[in-house]
């Protein structure tokens, strides 16, 4: 079946603009994660959803970052007033059930803030 998809794949924003990044998890997957991968680094956890509930947002770097998953499927990561340090690849991952150890990753969205 289809894997995790993310859109757009590439996004260029001017500093100060708001952006919205979309994640479509594998159909039926209960849990969804967002990670931020800076250039030359490993992914770092941002936030976690179980169905529509955001259970952990401890990794969000500032209050400019906001994520939602209103119907328990598609998720959107919104960044307000983007800064250059927000430039990174944003990865989404999903798992079919709580407690599943393997996360399935999407291709990521590369955000460049000029």
Query: Which residues bind to other proteins, rule: CB under 8 A?
Result: 3-4, 31, 33, 35, 40-45, 48, 55-56, 59, 91, 93, 101-103, 105-108
CB 13 to other proteins: min, Å: 19
- Return the number of the residue (43 or 67) whose C-beta is nearest other proteins: 43
DSSP state, residue 87: -
CB 86 to other proteins: min, Å: 19
CB 107 to other proteins: min, Å: 4
CB 45 to other proteins: min, Å: 4
For 108: left if phi > 0, alpha if psi spans -120 to 50, otherwise beta; the answer is: left
- Return the number of the residue (45 or 66) whose C-beta is nearest other proteins: 45
- Residue 79: exposure state from Cβ atoms within 10 A (0-12, 13-18, ≥19): buried
């Amino acid at each position: 079946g289809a894997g995790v998809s993310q859109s757009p794949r590439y996004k260029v924003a001017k500093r100060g603009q708001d952006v919205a990044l979309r994640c479509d998890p594998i159909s039926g997957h209960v849990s969804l994660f967002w990670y931020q991968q800076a250039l030359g680094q490993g992914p770092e956890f941002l936030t976690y959803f179980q169905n529509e509930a955001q259970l952990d947002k401890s990794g969000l770097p500032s209050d400019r970052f906001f994520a939602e998953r209103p119907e328990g499927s598609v998720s959107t990561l919104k960044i307000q007033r983007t800064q250059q340090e927000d430039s990174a690849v944003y990865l989404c991952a999903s798992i079919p059930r709580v407690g599943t150890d393997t996360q399935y990753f999407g291709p990521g969205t590369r955000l460049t803030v000029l």
